[in-house]
Structure formats: C-alpha cells, structure tokens
Structure 1
Amino acid sequence: MYLLVLLVVLGVVYAYCWWKPRSPPTYPGQLPIIGHSHILFKHRNDIWVYFSKVVEYISENGGFFQFRVGPHIMYVVDDPESVGIIANTCLDKPYFYNFMDDLLGNGLITLNGEMWKIHHKLLNPAFSQHVLNTYLNEMDAQAQNLVSQLTTVAKKGPVNITEFLGQFVLRTVCRTSLRLEVKDQDMIDNEYAKAIEEIEAIIIRRVLNPILHFPFLFKLTAMYKRQIKLSHNNKKLMDPIIHKRKSDLIATKRTVNDNDDSVPGKFKPALDLLLHLSDEQYVLSDDEIRAHLNTFVAASFDTTSAALQTILLVLGSYPEIQERVYNEIQDIFKNRDRLTKHDITKLVYLDAVIKEVLRMYNIVPLIARQIDTDIVLPKYTLRAGSSCIMSIYGLHRHSSWGPDAKQFKPERWLNPATLPTNPNVYAAFGIGKRMCIGKQYAMLSMKTSLVHTVRKFHISADISTLKWEYAVTLKAKAPLINLTLRS
C-alpha cells in the first residue's frame, strides 16, 4: 500500500516537472534582487563590447537566455523560428521604448500594437513604390550635391564623413518627405542632428542605469532637464514646417488623391498625407503629425547615414569589391549622369553589397517586444509581463548562413538558392509585422548616393581598426576614409 502511494506521488512529481513551463537558462552573473543590473551599470562605458560577447555566448549555447533587471525578466533570443513567432505574436514594445518619447513622441516606432496597426495602415501609402519613384530625381540631385561637397576634401588625407552624410540624409528627407523648397532645405540642420545624437546618448545611459528606469527618479537628474530642452528645441524646428505646409495646401486647395499621383514629377510627401488625414479625415492630431514627422526624420537620419557610412568604410576596405561595384555602375550608366527607376533595378551587385554590409554590420543590432501573453515555444515558455530582446546580430551570424556566416561575402546574395530558407535570419529592417515602413525609401536613397560617390572617387579605409559605439543604433567611432578623384 505504502509503495503504491509512493509510486503515485513520484508519478505526480515527475509529471509536474515534465509538463510545467520551462524557462530559458539564466545568463551567468545574476545576483539576488538586482539580477544583472550591476553588469549593465559596470559596462555602461563599453556596452557594445559587452553586448557583442553576450550575443556570441547566447549563439554558442542554444540561442536562448534570460536576464533579470531587478524583478523584470528579459529574454534574449536568436533562434530564427522563435523570433518569428515572437515578433508576429507580440506587437507591443517594452517599457524602455518609452524612454524615446521625448525624442519621437508616439510615432510608428513607439506606438503600442493596436494603435500601430491603425497608423501603419494610414501611413503606408506615403511609402508606396509609386510615391518613391517620384522622389528619385530629388534624391539624385542631393547625391550629386553630396559628391560636390566631398570633392572639396578629396586628396586631403583621412576625412570624417559623418557630417557630410548626415547633411545629405536630412536634406533629402526635407526635400522629399517634407517637401521643403530648396531655400528651406536646411531648416532641419546639423543642430537637429546633434540634438538627436545627444538625446540618444541620454537614452542609452538611462537604459544602462536601472535606477533611472523609474520615471520619478529620472526626472530628478540633469539628464532629464537636458533631454527636455533638446526635445523642445527640435519641436520648435518642426512646428513651423508643419504650419507652413498646411498654409500652402490651404492656399492652393491641393489635396492628396490618386489623380495627383499620376502627374509626372509631382511629389506625394509624407507630410501632405499626414495633413490630409488630419484636415480631411480628422484622424490625426497636431501632436500625432509632429510625432510621425519626428520619427521619419530622426529614424532616416540615424539609420540611413550610419548605414551609408559603414558601406563606404567597407568599400574602402575591400578594393576588389569596390571596383566590381564601379564596373557595374559604369556598364549601366556609361556617360549619363541621371538615374532612372529602371537603372536602380539593374544594380544587382550593389544591392548585394548593401545587404551584406547590413548583415555583417548591424545598424540596429537588437530589437525588443513586450511579452503580453505566455508564449509556448518548442523548448521554452516565455512568461507574460516579461520582455524579449531579439538579437539581430546573432540572427545575421546564425549557422543557417553556412560555414562562412561570419565572413563578408556579397556574392552569397547573387544566388537565392544558397540563402537560408527562413526569412527571419535576415532582419536589417526588422522582423515580422512591425518591419520598418521606410525600408524601400532607405534602399533607394542609399543606392542613389552610392552610385554617384563610387563613380567619382576611389575610396580607401580600414574597417578592421574601427571601434563601435552603441547608442540606440550602432555606429563607427571616427569613421575616417580617404577619397581620391577617379580619372
């Protein structure tokens, strides 16, 4: 009898242990109460060096780990199947994305899942291929202007290209998405860019100091006061643009409609669409318009300029790849100066180089989701109320890329049959439903500028000597290149 009872008890215990939700293993270094908070704070000045080691460790040990910041659980994942499930199931962003509210407001990056669905659907027409094609002439003109500016520093030794590229991206956004006149294209200038970079530095410092995750404590700091001042200054830049464009539209009684799209050379900028949604459909407030514009401008500046910077550094470090890009460009354009949409589609090798740079040198190496319901995966269960950090860095080096996963090899993109079958292993523009709405805009802008830059200059650099800094996006410190005019 006692033996039977013992067997039943053991069976129940075994069944419980077998069926209970299994959590991913905990990353080494956890302490009682504070979890891994002390490690984040310790590495606040070399955070990317630390993060890169963490994601390498996770990749080599099953692709799943959990961290604790105080009582809050953060899962870190680089398993392609799992991130696909998580990204499409959970559309809300974790609480620490709210740290960007002063920078972006409630734009597409920070909106909660339900509101994001509504606003994404409303804004999607502004990024259609038809609309983007109308931007090409302006992007081409801005790219030629970039080349003219770079010509002034050619043969003058190593040059930091950050400011040149930042100005190119901001002017392009101003002339396309915001439809500013040429005389007004510098209304959003390098001061705006510097403010974005300073706010991002504040955001990452706050992320790495868990005490400052509490809003009431953060508001006691000098960082908070500085962030508010910078955000207010940027708001003062954006409001006149909104009001000016609104006045222009009222004066000309111009509306955003399909007939306008069909007129050659006519722009369909994001700002006009936003104003139409506000004035004609009454679905957006002035604050929401400002938030979306701030998101467009800040995200374009931050990611596109960083990506261009890295691509040029890579081309300068691989002269044989640079020459192959140059030869492709020359074969297509010959003596022509202007690009057409048909030319862009022929730049097959340049497209491969861009994709491979974005794979190996992630501009956004980590993205996150709020786990709002228990997610049962084949190996583990992720608990509701936690956060999940998806390692783009790890996905881009996943074993499914093959034994050369950690090698820079643009040729891999020329044969689709050799690429991984799971689309989640490439996430340069995000994963799942909340993928970046501006992906095609960014690619068009980058290709246009690279065509003119590579045609004009020999580029030399050494990317292996660079150090990287992580502040929302990953960028090279002091990106120096040498430019020599081609004959």
Structure 2
Amino acid sequence: MLLEYIKNYLLVILLSLIVSLILCSYSKYLRIFYYTTKLPGPTALPIIGNILMLVGNHEEITTIVLNKVQEYSPIFRAWLGPVPLIFTVKPEYIQEILNHGLEKAWIMKQAGYQLSGDSIMSSKVSKWKRNRRIVVRGFSPILLKSYFKVFVEKNVILIENLNKKLNDDKPFDIFEYISKTTMDAVCGSTLGYDVNAQNSNSSYYNAVQNLFFLMFERIFHPWKLPDIYYKFTEDGKQSEKSRDVILGLASKIITERRKIQYENAMQNHTLEIQDIKKNVFNKPLLDYLIDITENNQEFDNEQLRDEINIVILGGYETSANALSYVLLNLAAHKDIQERVCKELFEVLDGDLNRPIEIDDLPKLKYMDMVLKESMRLYSTVPIIAREITKDIQMGDFFIPKGSTCVIPILSLHRDHNLWKDPLKFDPERFTPENMKGRHPYAYIPFGGGPRNCIGIRYAWMFMKTLLATLLCRYEFHTDLNLNELKMQMEVSLKLVGGHQVRITSRIKN
C-alpha cells in the first residue's frame, strides 16, 4: 500500500514537471509571438507563415530575401511556419545582437550539424567559451609566421597549374584552383598534413561542396529540418555520405599526427600540463590540440575531430571564395588592378622574381583596401543568425529573450543608408579618412562581437600572400558583366556559373 502510494506520488510529480515545462515553453513562445507581431513584415499565411517566399532554387530565394530586406529595412519579421525570424541591417541593432546573442540560432545548428558537429562554430555558449580559449592558441602571431612558409609552398603548385591556362582564350573558374590551394594550405599549415588537393581529384573537396549546398537546401525547405524525417530523404542520405567522407579525413589526419606525436614524446621529457594548455612550445594547431586531449578529459577525441574539421572547412572555403571575388573584380576594373600591381612592384623593389616575404604584407596598404571592398560587395558569409539571450530594445521595437535574429550581411554591406552608391566597386571607401565616423558594425565580413571568426589574421595573411603571388605573374581578364552576376546563398556566397577569368603574362617593365 505504501509503495503504491509512493509510486503514484512520484508519477504525479513527474507529470506536473512535464506540464510545467510545456507551459513554460508555451508561455515563452507566446511572449516572442506577441512582440514579433508588432514588427513590420510581409503578409503571412496561417500556419505556413511566409514559407512561400522559399519556393524556387537557391538563386531565386536569395533574390527574394535581398528584396524583402531592402523593402522593409532596417528591421522586419518573417515567419518560418509558426516560427518567427527577425531580420535587421541597422548597425546599432546588429551590435546589440552580436554582443548579447552569443547562442547560435537553432535553425543554423539543426541544418548545419552534419557540417560543423559540436565545434566552436555551433556549440552552446558554455562549451564555446571553453573550447575557443583552447583553439585560439593555434593562431598566435608566432605560429602565423611559421605557417607562412607553407602558404608559399602551396602557391608554387598553384602557379604550376595555372600556367597551363596561360594565354588561353577560353575562360575558366578561378575558384576551382584557389579553393584547392587554400585546402592544401590550411591542412599543411595548421595540421601538418598534405592532402594534395591541387594535384588530385579529391573526394573530400567534392563532399564539402555537396554538404555546403545541402545545408542551405535544408534551411530553404523547413519541412526537412526534423531529423526523424530528413534522414530518410535522398538529401539526408547524400548529406550523411558527405559527412562520412569529411570526418574520415579529419580522423585520418589526427591518427597520423598522433602517431608522430607519440614517437616524439618518447624522446622528450614529460610536458607540464600548464605548459601544454598555454602552448608555450608554439606547436601547430593540431599537435597542440592532441596534447590537450591527452591531459583534458573535457576535450576528448570527438571534440578534437569536430574542431579540426571546422578549421579545415572554415579556413579553406571562405578564403577561396573571397579571393575569387577579388580577382574577378580586378579583372573587371583594370585601373584598380594596375594600381594594386604598382604598389606591389614598389614593395618588391621592382624585382618580380623575388618571392613575397611575410614582412612585405603590412606594406600592401592599397591591397588591404581592395580586399575589404571586395568582401563588402560580395560578403563571403552572406547571412548569420543568433538566438537572443536577453531582452533587447531596438528603437521602437522590443525584442524578447529567445528570439531568433537574422543578420543578412550581404544586405548590410549594400545598404543605401550606409554606403554611397553601394553597388559600385570602390576601394577608396576604406581609406583612413573615409572610415572615420563609420559604425563598426556597418562592415562585418568576419562577424562581430565575442563570437567572431578566430582566424581573421590567418585568413588575411594567406589572402594577401596568394594575391601578391598571382599578380606578380598574371594579368586577369573577364568577359563577365559584374552588374549582371547571379548569386546564391550557401555557407558562403556562391556565384552562379563560377568566377570566369582569363590570364595572360604580366608585362615586366
């Protein structure tokens, strides 16, 4: 009798807790719903909301999103079924979001898990804070200098491959060449591993491109978001296969480097744990993280694999995309291309056969401006989303805790209210004089706030090294009309039809 009473009592408590959680969650949703309805935005249909905006291919959806942002700027709401999304391109609002919305939005986590796992790209704030402090030590100034020589080595292979296209009248997609170079450079520098992507038909490269596409295909078709359904779809099966290939490479690299680490450890004294955590011996990223897994139970092998995987993915794709747009812009604007080259020649003292050196890079001021302007006009990461972890007042609008806020960076960087003649390619926007008074969150190619990209200096150093190497040897040309380019949002901003260029030898005066 007593046991039965205790059993029923516990059951009542359990049911009460379940009901309380449901009511708590429901009341949270009602609060978000109430305040979101006060925002302007396109007319939404019952239940399905604004999902009809997502009918079409990636290019068509990208155009629709950009048009809606422009129509309802600076802030509006749209409904992904019953789920509200709040869009904004106002720098003051964006600053609040990125500094008080450190949690990545659920929709990006759900669609991007197979891409990023539980890495610092998508993990919860508590885990992100811990792991970011670890991973960032692999990008110290001393290590960046050691990575530079790998950049130069991989650029030599790129030149060898591009020479086959020299003086060819038929244009080619420069992204295919640069992306494989960046993959080689990232793996060779931070991981100490040669994937040889430039001289092989890499299944990894193809798997990554496929998974990037499928991630946004899932976001653009919300009915594919639930895992219980998605894993049985053709997209879900393709996504799983691509993930297996991608994680397979990360695991292979870790296994081989761990073996080398073990052999080296047998010849050296045991390292102090504090020395390992601080990376006082300035080991490359992977070697350092392997040490961490041996001495930190919270940073296990699965975590190591996820972090290494996202370093490869984030490092090679975004840099390659940014460089491809830069070269396309230089090909279309010959006067700017010549000005970049003039500065480069002056830094090299007129000796175009001299290899670029790391100390040359800070002197390339105009090249900095060109890179920044290209990344403004063609934002490498076109859109990001965050979950707000505290109530925020945005002008006349109140944004409650738990809301999903979307920042269309591509629209922000092309906003008429922030940029004069925003579709014009004009590096002069980034002279020190013209940057004065500009809101720091009007230009965020690497994100902003505490959860911005940890590889900014790495990417900048690599991009300038590769750009200088190419411009010493080639003049770039294109037949594309840059006013008629068609783009589509994925993890990075993809150009429909590719970055089609031609190359000729640069005249050496």
Using the size of structure 2 for normalisation, the TM-score is: 0.85
**Residue pairs, 1:407-422, within 5 angstroms:** 407-416=424-433, 418-422=435-439
Q: Separation in 1 of the partners of 2:288 and 2:437?
A: 38
Contact 1:364 1:474 in 2 (8 A): yes
Tell me whether 1:142 sits opposite 2:154 in the alignment. Answer: yes
Matched, 1:73 2:94: no
Aligned with residue 166 of structure 1, among 160, 175, 179 = 179
- 1:239 matches 2:251: yes
- Please state how far the C-alpha of 1:196 moved relative to its aligned partner: 1.1
Matched, 1:327 2:342: yes
Q: Could you say if the C-alpha distance between residues 419 and 476 of structure 1 is closer, same or farther in structure 2, counting changes exceeding 3 Å?
A: farther
Q: Which moved more, 1:71-80 or 1:138-147?
A: 138-147
* Match 1:437 to one of 454, 476, 488: 454
Question: Do the aligned partners of 1:23 and 1:382 also contact (CA within 8 Å) in 2?
Answer: no
CA distance in 1, matches of 2:36, 2:191: 50
* Kept in 1: contact 2:40–2:72 (CA 8 A): no
* Runs of 4+ more than 6 Å apart: 183-189
- Alpha-carbon distance, 1:188 to partner: 9.4
Q: Aligned pair in 2 of structure 1 residues 184, 201: CA closer, same or farther (>3 Å)? A: closer
Structure 2 residue 356 is the aligned partner of structure 1 residue 339:
yes
Q: 1:115 aligns with which of 127, 136, 161?
A: 127
Match of 1:485 in 2: 505
**More displaced 10-residue stretch of structure 1: 417-426 or 251-260:** 251-260
Q: Is the 8 A contact 1:460 1:483 kept in 2?
A: yes
Q: Partners of 1:329 and 1:84 in 2: how far apart?
A: 36
Counterpart Cα distance in 1 of 2:38 and 2:328 = 38
Alignment of 1:57-96 (within 5 A): 57-59=71-73, 63-96=74-107
Please tell me the root mean square deviation across aligned C-alpha atoms, in Å. Answer: 2.2
Could you say what secondary structure the match of 2:441 adopts?
Answer: helix
Q: Specify which of 481, 487, 490 is matched with residue 471 of structure 1.
A: 490
* Alpha-carbon distance in structure 1 between the residues aligned to 2:193 and 2:294: 20
Note the 1:10-409 alignment, pairs <5 A: 25-42=39-56, 44=58, 46-59=60-73, 63-98=74-109, 99-157=111-169, 158-180=171-193, 190-253=202-265, 260-261=281-282, 268-333=283-348, 334-335=350-351, 337-399=354-416, 401-409=418-426
Compare 434-443 and 366-375 and name the one that shifted more: 366-375
Query: How far did 1:102 drift?
Result: 1.3
Deviations 1:139-186 (CA, angstroms, capped at 9, x unpaired): 1222232122111111112112222111101110121011025x8677
| Aligned partners of 1:275 and 1:289 also within 8 Å | yes
The verdict on how the C-alpha distance between 1:444 and 1:44 changes in structure 2, with shifts beyond 3 A counting, is closer
Q: Following the alignment from structure 2 to structure 1, what is the Cα–Cα distance between the partners of residues 202 and 338? A: 32
- Structure 1 residues 44 and 459: alpha-carbon distance in aligned structure 2, compared to 1, 3 A threshold: closer
1-structure distance, mates of 2:414, 2:52: 28
Contact 1:107 1:291 in 2 (8 A): yes
1:206-255 Cα distance to aligned partner (Å, 9 max, x none): 11112112222212211111111111122222212101101101101176
Q: 1:45 to 1:355 in 2, by over 3 A?
A: closer
Identical counterparts, % of pairs:
26
Q: Normalising by the residue count of structure 1, what TM-score does the alignment of the two structures yield?
A: 0.89
Structure 1 residue 32: Cα displacement? 1.1
Secondary structure, counterpart of 2:384 in structure 1: strand
- Which consecutive residues of structure 2, in runs of 5 or more, have no partner in the other structure? 1-33
Looking at structure 2, the residues matched to 271 and 71 of structure 1 have their Cα atoms a distance apart, in angstroms, of 43
CA distance, structure 2, for counterparts of residue 172 and residue 348 of structure 1: 24
Q: 1:53 to 1:226 in 2, by over 3 A?
A: same
